[in-house]
């Protein structure tokens, strides 16, 4: 901390303003899937699969570094958790690929119907939803 550049010290608190949006996102996503997914028969995302707090045990980290690692683990974990909930929601409601290639598509995206292929969409939507429902049984 003593060796940190002054601008780093001045800007560091800005990153911690992210706590509130991540907590709100966490609560919203958890509530949304708890209420909606059973109705839509979408398998719930296990939140604990996305949150890992194993770096706090590292003896090489001081208290500030441990706190930073905790924050980054939480923020990235919640972002990944929210992405999976959004991906499952998109698979249910709008499993259609975009017209242009997208960067970093989620794992479910390859299952989606080609953009503009209305026939495949109409014929395959229920099949895709049933496939998603079967994930609950696994």
Residue with the two structure tokens 């028969």? 41
SS3 assignment, position 54: coil
- How far, in Å, CA of 79 to CA of 85, rounded? 10
Q: DSSP letter string over 7-53?
A: HHHHHHHHHHTTHHHHHHHHHHHHHHHHHHHHHHTPPPP-GGGT---
| CA 28 centroid distance within chain | 12
Read off the pLDDT of each residue in 98-121 and give the average, rounded to a whole number: 96
What is the per-residue pLDDT across 4-38, written as a single tens digit (0 to 9) for each? Answer: 788 888 888 888 899 999 999 999 999 999 999 99
Quick one: pLDDT at residue 1? 57
- Please, which residues bridge with residue 113 across strands? 96
Quick one: pLDDT at residue 129? 94
pLDDT band, very low/low/confident/very high, at 2 (cuts 50, 70, 90): low
More confident site: 2 or 32: 32
CB 19 within 8 A of CB 71: yes
pLDDT band, very low/low/confident/very high, at 78 (cuts 50, 70, 90): very high
């Amino acid at each position: 901390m003593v060796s940190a550049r002054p601008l780093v010290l001045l800007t560091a608190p800005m990153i911690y303003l992210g706590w509130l949006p991540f907590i709100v996102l966490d609560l919203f996503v958890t509530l949304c899937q708890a209420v909606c997914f059973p109705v839509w028969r979408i398998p719930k995302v296990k939140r604990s699969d996305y949150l890992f707090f194993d770096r706090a045990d590292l003896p090489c980290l001081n208290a500030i570094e441990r706190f930073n690692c905790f924050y980054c683990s939480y923020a990235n974990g919640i972002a990944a958790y929210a992405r999976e909930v959004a991906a499952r929601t998109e698979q249910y409601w709008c499993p259609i690929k975009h017209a242009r290639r997208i960067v970093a598509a989620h794992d479910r995206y390859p299952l989606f119907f080609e953009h503009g292929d209305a026939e495949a969409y109409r014929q395959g939507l229920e099949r895709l939803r049933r496939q998603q429902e079967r994930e609950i049984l696994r």
